Structure 1
Amino acid sequence: MRSLTTKLGLLVLGLALTGCGSSSNVPVGRLRVVHTSPNAPLVDVLVDNNRELASVPYKASSPYLALLSGTRNIKVNAAGTTSSVINANVPIETGKDTTVLAVGRLAGIEPLVLSDNNTAPAAGNVKLRLVHSAPGAGNVDIYVTVPDAVLSVVPPTLTNIPFKGVSPYLSVPAGNYRVRITPAGTKTVAIDSGTLSLAAGQIRTAVAVGDPSVDQALTAIVLADN
């Protein structure tokens, strides 16, 4: 089986070559898929019943895939099978980016569809979005601080965020940051990103994942949106 990277590279290359010919005005949008279900197996991702991603592991993210605009049927199957754990119709808009996260434990897995805003941040700034995709955590507070900030003396950046909650994009000056996530109303750190070095112009999405009840530690993954 070809690797995920190879498969994606061939798909994007083929679409790019098509765009250079007579079909350059074909309307396309972009789709990214992220596997955040802590006890789901490797999965395949099908777009309109064509397998585009194979054997995607937990915490993995695809690059953006260029797709024809319109409503696309997205299926997430247990790898190598026709058994769909997610079957959803997702609108793909011309010139816009969409992220679909597979969220929740396997028994209740579902798609979380995000509309991405990858327009450039203000000069000298970065854009940071935060997503709660950790079914093993309840409502949480999120702190976005300089790396050495003492949590006990700073207020949370976002409060009482539920599972599947998504923040607006935060526009902050480029520099070093640290994202810490606590159970809502406490200062007990459940997830610590460590130092994130963010350069001017970058857009990033930090996703809280994990569920200790199925032996997957609470942690964060950071997606490069541009």
Structure 2
Amino acid sequence: MKKSKFLVVMPFLLALLVTGCKLNGDETSVPSAAFFVVHASPNAPNVDILVNGGGLVQNFAYTADTGYFFVTPGTYNLKVNANGSNSSLIDQNLTLSAGKYYSIFAIDSLSKIKTAIVEDVLSSVGADSVRVRFLQFCPNISALDASFYNANDTLNYTTRSFNDQNSNATLALYKTIKAGTYTLDIKTPPGSGTIYKSFGGINLLSGKSYTIYLKGFDGGTGAQALGIGQVVNVE
């Protein structure tokens, strides 16, 4: 596993051992529960992430991800603070169920920052294939269609809107396509076939599972420009 680390969260209240890593398919047992944190709020500062009052990561930058943390099933308090601040941008309780994996994205603009909690339904991948899902986390773009394609395969999504998997969990499911280098076309309005933005060079390596998400602001510049983020859930 990658990025392994250990952390005791609030030992005076809870004897909880937390370990973080990416999955590589060689795990001998399923963790009780696992969660993964991604900073996807375009104009939010670097943040500190706390669980049950204990520091999980510090100075966490936009588009960074933690890898999975394995924990005992239960309810946990998650705080997201501006780096070095005791004031919380996000303060909420999360219930993590036994045998399940979750990705927790900090999304939206700083003034509206919130979490998008997505269950990661992971499964094995064939030697020449990858598992992919697409999430729409650009808060100010209209509904859109999205297409991944290369000479060997195509994966289409229709009428996707901001954070839409929150109301339809099936939109967060992975789909299997052939490994390779893909282009992602964003088309709006839905059904028009009009390409609004195109992102090339998306290299999807065999045997892995990926989350590709639309990030930034439509009309944004620099680091906040409309773009794509990529998370490797299974390595």
Q: How does 1:38-57 map onto structure 2 within 5 Å?
A: 38-57=42-61
Identify the residue that residue 158 of structure 2 maps to in structure 1: 159
Q: Distance in 2 between matches of 1:89 and 1:68?
A: 15
Letter in 1 for 2:6: L
TM (normalized to structure 1)? 0.80
Identify the residue that residue 192 of structure 1 maps to in structure 2: 198
Q: Distance in 2 between matches of 1:32 and 1:187?
A: 34
Deviation readout 1:10-56 (Å, 9 max, x if unpaired): 3279756xxxxxxxx9x631111111111111111111111101011
Instruction: Verify: 1:124 aligned to 2:121, yes or no.
Output: no
Contact (CA 8 Å) 2:220, 2:226: kept in 1 or not?
no
Identify the residue that residue 13 of structure 2 maps to in structure 1: none
In the superposition, relative to structure 1, how do residues 115 and 61 fare at CA in structure 2: closer, same or farther (>3 Å)? same
Identify the residue that residue 230 of structure 2 maps to in structure 1: 222
Higher mean displacement: 185-194 or 87-96? 185-194
SS of equivalent residue, structure 1 residue 80: coil
Any gaps of 5 or more consecutive residues in structure 1? 1-7, 17-24
TM (normalized to structure 2)? 0.77
Which has more helix, going by share of residues?
A: 1
SS of equivalent residue, structure 2 residue 125: coil
1:181 deviation in Å? 1.5
Identify the residue that residue 3 of structure 1 maps to in structure 2: none
Instruction: Verify: 1:169 aligned to 2:174, yes or no.
Output: yes
1:64 deviation in Å? 1.0
Deviation readout 1:165-212 (Å, 9 max, x if unpaired): 243311112233222222233444444331233233211000100114
- Could you tell me which of 134, 139, 142 is aligned with 1:138? 142
Identify the residue that residue 37 of structure 1 maps to in structure 2: 41
Identify the residue that residue 69 of structure 1 maps to in structure 2: 73
Contact (CA 8 Å) 1:34, 1:59: kept in 2 or not?
yes
Q: Distance in 1 between matches of 2:61 and 2:4?
A: 18
Q: Distance in 2 between matches of 1:144 and 1:214?
A: 23
Deviation readout 1:130-180 (Å, 9 max, x if unpaired): 00001131211101111699xxxx9x8111111012433111122332222
In the superposition, relative to structure 1, how do residues 112 and 165 fare at CA in structure 2: closer, same or farther (>3 Å)? same
Higher mean displacement: 205-214 or 46-55? 205-214
Identify the residue that residue 4 of structure 1 maps to in structure 2: none
Contact (CA 8 Å) 1:45, 1:54: kept in 2 or not?
yes
Q: Distance in 1 between matches of 2:201 and 2:152?
A: 9
Instruction: Verify: 1:206 aligned to 2:212, yes or no.
Output: yes
Any gaps of 5 or more consecutive residues in structure 2? 9-16, 20-28, 166-170
SS of equivalent residue, structure 2 residue 185: strand
Instruction: Verify: 1:87 aligned to 2:91, yes or no.
Output: yes
Q: Distance in 2 between matches of 1:189 and 1:148?
A: 20
Percent identical across equivalent pairs? 27
SS of equivalent residue, structure 1 residue 107: helix
